[in-house]
Amino acid sequence: MEKTYRVTRADLVRYAGASGDFNPIHWSERFANNVGLPGVIAHGMFTMALVSRAVTEWAGAPDTVVELGVRFARPVPVPDTDEGTEVVVTVTERGETDEGHTKLAVTATCQGEKVLSLAQAVVRKR
């Protein structure tokens, strides 16, 4: 399964408020540049939340995720445009755990570059 999610500055502002993560690298170009970033970047946890959306959609249920883990490999720059950027998430079944749950391998890319590595999920069968 492949899902494409659009990410704009407005999404980051909304996520900052909802999550309580107000680190200015996620909303201030000036601050991001001052700490050596090319511009505002998405919260890693926002990207992980997009992964969770793809996983719950794959599972067809909001409540069957047993495990979800990622490594943040590269930032997701979000330009100050109406289009913002896109994150593409893929979910692929990878066998079963000893408990009989389904293992899922996950990838996330932005502009063709992997932004997560070692991303995986385990979901309970319904």
Partner 1 sequence: MPLDQAFVGRKYPPTEPYLVGREKIREFARAIGAAEREFHDPEAARAIGYPDVVAPPTFPIVFTMASSHAQIVEDPELGIDYTRVVHGDQKFVYARPIVAGDALVCVNTVEDITTRGGHDFMTTRSDVTTEAGELVVTVWAKLVQRGED
Residues 18-77 touching partner 1, rule: CB under 8 A, are 18-21, 35, 44-46, 48-50, 52-53, 55-56, 61-63, 65-72
CB under 8 A: which stretch of 8-16, 79-87, 94-102, 103-111 binds partner 1? 8-16
Please name the residues in contact with 124: beta carbons below 8 A apart, sequence gap of 6 or more.
Answer: 64, 65, 66, 101, 102
Q: In DSSP terms, which residues pair with 91 in a beta bridge?
A: 106
CB of 65 to partner 1, least distance (A): 5
Burial class (CB in 10 A: 0-12, 13-18, 19+), 113: exposed
CB of 100 to partner 1, least distance (A): 16
Question: What is the C-alpha separation between 99 and 107, in angstroms, rounded?
Answer: 24
Residues engaged in binding partner 1 (CB under 8 A):
5, 11, 14-15, 17-21, 35, 44-46, 48-50, 52-53, 55-56, 61-63, 65-72, 118
